[in-house]
């Protein structure tokens, strides 16, 4: 059987829960196609990310 790989953030598990993965669709100025901007941001800054 294969081993499962578990991704962890630095620090304890409690700190890892204070981050959220956010994905925003942005139109590329070069090609006009849509691209996805994915980031891990602290829970407090999620609204700031989407206001940009």
Condensed to tens digits (0 to 9), the pLDDT of residues 2-42 reads 667 666 655 555 655 899 999 999 999 999 999 999 999 99
pTM: 0.55
**Helix boundaries (H) for 1-52:** 13-16, 46-51
* pLDDT band, very low/low/confident/very high, at 51 (cuts 50, 70, 90): confident
User: What pLDDT sits at residue 52?
Assistant: 75
pLDDT score for 12: 54
Q: What is the pLDDT of residue 39?
A: 93
Looking at residue 17, its pLDDT comes to 80
pLDDT of residue 50: 87
Copy the structure tokens of residue 15: 């700190």
Place of tokens 């630095």: 10
């Amino acid at each position: 059987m294969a081993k499962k790989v578990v991704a962890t953030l630095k620090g304890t598990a409690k700190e890892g829960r204070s981050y959220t993965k956010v994905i925003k669709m942005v139109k590329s100025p070069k090609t006009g196609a849509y691209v996805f901007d994915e980031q891990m941001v602290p829970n407090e800054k999620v609204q700031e990310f989407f206001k940009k």
